[in-house]
Structure 1
């Protein structure tokens, strides 16, 4: 059984700020992991049926393994329209964030959706601000 690290008041404070910057709701999971989700409303269909599923529309962000210097493993994921993918990748890279995946999740969706995943070892607040700037054009 893995040893669980106590959630400190500092971790909670940083998680609250991380979520506020990203404009999402948060929860703290065992680990501890600060997990933030944010709905990105857009119109899409899969197999000809309209979808509003969180599996399609939600942006996801997290940080964990916060060290004494204030840096953590920070992760992000979002869906983009295919014609937005290159711009988001460039935006993230310009902030020192590594893009780790670009792929589809669905077949026969309209418009064509691509999912981008990214990671960095950064201060979570810096990561949240850099991510917010990078995704701002998505609306």
Structure 2
């Protein structure tokens, strides 16, 4: 519909499905035209001594939007990490020219320690997805 878009809704949906397949997650195109992929790690966390299975604790989110005529898009990601996974993943992402933008906690009194890393790039979405898949091989579970 938009003359500014280089991709029709069908091709955007197909690209989003392939992005999700590479990342082994479930994807959807939002009403705003953003491809969002989510999956959840299987880490047993407790918060305040209580076991939690909340998707707020174990998320991995990835998105891309605004694919330009060169095939590049804004790619964003976030993942929960165990403390000992932080440096190995940081190293792997940096090797692949993925910019790490934040590392922080979300919760207090959780066991084990849960850290959240955010990262970004401008490149073709499927290249970003493949880089993330490779980098995530350093994660324990």
2:72 match = 71
C-alpha displacement of 1:18: 0.2
Deviations 1:76-99 (A, max 9, x none): 000101111011111101101000
Structure 2 residue runs of 5 or longer lacking an equivalent are none
Q: How does 1:1-139 map to 2 (within 5 A)?
A: 7-138=8-139, 139=141
Alignment size in residue pairs = 136
Normalising by structure 2, report the TM-score: 0.92
CA contact (8 A) 1:82 1:112 kept: yes
The CA distance in 2 between the partners of 1:106 and 1:62, in whole Å, is 24
CA contact (8 A) 1:105 1:115 kept: yes
C-alpha displacement of 1:30: 2.2
- Alpha-carbon distance change, 7 to 48 in structure 1, aligned in 2, over 3 angstroms: farther
Normalising by structure 1, report the TM-score: 0.93
C-alpha displacement of 1:8: 2.4
Deviations 1:91-138 (A, max 9, x none): 101101000000000000000011000000010000000001111222
C-alpha displacement of 1:6: 8.0
Structure 1 residue runs of 5 or longer lacking an equivalent are none
Deviations 1:10-35 (A, max 9, x none): 21111010000000001110221000
Q: CA RMSD in A?
A: 1.6
SS in 2 for 1:56: coil
